[in-house]
Structure 1
Amino acid sequence: MTLQVQHHISDELLLDFASGTLAEGWSIAVATHLALCPSCRNRLSFMEHAGGELLEAVDIDQTSSATDSWQAMKRRLAAETDKPAAQAKPRAAAANDAVLPEPLRSYLGADVDGLKWRALGRGAYHIPIKTGDTESQVRLLRIPAGKPVPEHSHGGRELTLVLKGAFTDGSSVFRRGDLEEADETLTHQPVATPEEDCICLAVTDAPLKFKSLIVRLVQPVLGI
């Protein structure tokens, strides 16, 4: 069975990763997605190559704004996206492939079967992941098959990367390798699909804003 990633990293987030300006928490999510997504690895390679060309082309005596450079990069990315993605072929997953790819597995010290999960309630579990980053909070989540995450909005950015199973969010389905980006404008209630538990990597930079009063009351204890 081949891995078909449908939901990819935004151009802006990938560019920040390529330029080395992302904090550690966000970088873990992006790097883990890249390990699962050949298409985004190709985009990253193109960005790095195009970025080098842009630097060489800019005369340091000219007044060229960062916005102009980014607009030029986006035009090149759009042109590249229109071309057939001959190199972005999904690979067949080997039977013994780990659920957690690198670099995430090194942060946790084991694959999912060797981890000690902490209960969140209603059958859900999590594992906070320590980083040297004070900007973001990183955790592994396990949501029971067929069960929803409590409805919530966001105080900032949230990245959710599916590592096993799947979840639905409105009309969209997110499976292994898919990355969902959310911000203050989105209120949602993801639901794990019924086939198996959904294991995700979640990165946030602010506490979630839950609709349920009960969840809000226990939120400081759970650290979510």
Structure 2
Amino acid sequence: MTLHVQHHISDELLLDYATGNLAEGWSIAVATHLALCPTCRDRLSFMEHTGGQLLEAAEEAETVATPADSWAAMKAKLSAASSKSYAAEPVAAPADIPVLPEPLRSYLGGDVEGLKWKALGRGAYHIPIKTGDSESQVRLLKIPAGKPVPEHSHGGRELTLVLKGAFTDGATVFKRGDIEEADETLTHQPVATPDEDCICLAVTDAPLKFKSLLVRLVQPVLGI
């Protein structure tokens, strides 16, 4: 069997990961997506190779530039080259990877069968994941089949990586391996598809902004 990853990491996020400029929480999401997505692994390899060539060329030419200027120029060239070289098309990948691939599985101490979920209400569950990163909050979410997440917007960035099942966000479907990037401009209400519960990895850097007064009242207790 195969899975088909259709929604990939943005060039900007992947470039930051390649250069070690991502905090731990974001890096967990990117690395876990890479374990499921051969397209993005190829993109990462391409970026690293191209970045090495650009650095070598700059050293040979003894280019005089500040580190910030050099990085900005390199980032622009890599992003342009990457977007031209790889189309966002479905790519088959082995489907026998565990539900929680590495490195995520090590953070949780095993795969989904042995996890101890904490109730969020309305049949939803979560598991906060501890990191050494004070910039982001990381958690595993389990949303009941056919049920929506409370409508919300964002105080910052949110990454949602599907590990099992699927969810819809408007007309778009996100399945296993797909990653959704959201920011302050997006208000949405993802809904788990009716065939099975949806398990996702979610990373945020600010509390969500829920429309429901009831959810806002319990938000400090839930820590979301």
Provide the rounded CA distance (Å) in 1 between the counterparts of 2:220 and 2:79.
Answer: 41
**Contact preservation (8 Å) 2:24, 2:133:** yes
CA distance, structure 2, for counterparts of residue 125 and residue 89 of structure 1? 30
Q: What CA deviation, in whole Å up to 9, does each residue of 1:50-99 have, x standing for no partner?
A: 000010111344347233322222222133226x99xx9523323xx421
Q: In 2, Cα distance between the equivalents of 1:89 and 1:123?
A: 33
CA distance in 1 between counterparts of 2:83 and 2:185 reads 25
Q: Are 2:36 and 2:93, in contact at CA under 8 Å, matched by a contact in 1?
A: no
d(CA) in 2 for partners of 1:202 and 1:29? 8
The SS at the match of 2:4 is coil
8 Å contact from structure 2 (residues 137, 204) kept in 1: yes
2:84 aligned residue: 79
Deviation (angstroms), 1:219: 0.1
Identity %: 75
Aligned to 1:92: 94
Distance 1:158 1:219 in 2: 17
- Give the match for residue 30 of structure 2: 30
Structure-2 separation of matches of 1:9 and 1:175: 14
| 1: CA distance, partners of 2:211 / 2:152 | 6
Match of 2:64 in 1: 62
Aligned to 1:103: 103
Q: Which AA in structure 2 matches 1:188?
A: H
Could you tell me which residue of structure 2 aligns to residue 131 of structure 1? 131
Instruction: Tell me the residue number matched to 1:191.
Output: 191
For residues 141-180 of structure 1, give each alpha carbon's deviation from its aligned partner in whole angstroms, at most 9, with x where no partner exists: 0000000000000000000000000000011100000000
Q: In the alignment, which residue of structure 2 is the partner of 1:39?
A: 39
Q: Distance in 2 between matches of 1:37 and 1:98?
A: 14
Q: Which residue does the alignment assign to 2:150?
A: 150
What's the secondary structure of 1:90's corresponding residue?
Answer: strand
Give, as a single letter, the amino acid of the residue that structure 2 aligns with 1:69. Answer: M
- Counterpart-to-counterpart distance in 2, 1:11 and 1:120: 33
The answer for unaligned runs of 5 or more in structure 1 is: none
**Alignment size in residue pairs:** 219
* Residue matched to 2:14: 14
Q: Provide the C-alpha distance between the structure 2 equivalents of 1:9 and 1:61, rounded to a whole number of angstroms.
A: 31
Structure 1's 61 and 98: CA in aligned 2 closer, same or farther, altered over 3 A?
closer
TM-score, normalised by the number of residues in structure 2: 0.93
Report the TM-score when normalising by structure 1. Answer: 0.93
CA contact (8 A) 2:51 2:74 kept: no
8 Å contact from structure 2 (residues 156, 205) kept in 1: yes
1:4 counterpart SS class = strand
* Residues in 1 aligned to 2:204 and 2:212: alpha-carbon distance in whole angstroms: 19
Rounded to whole Å, the distance in 1 between the matches of 2:84 and 2:34 is 21
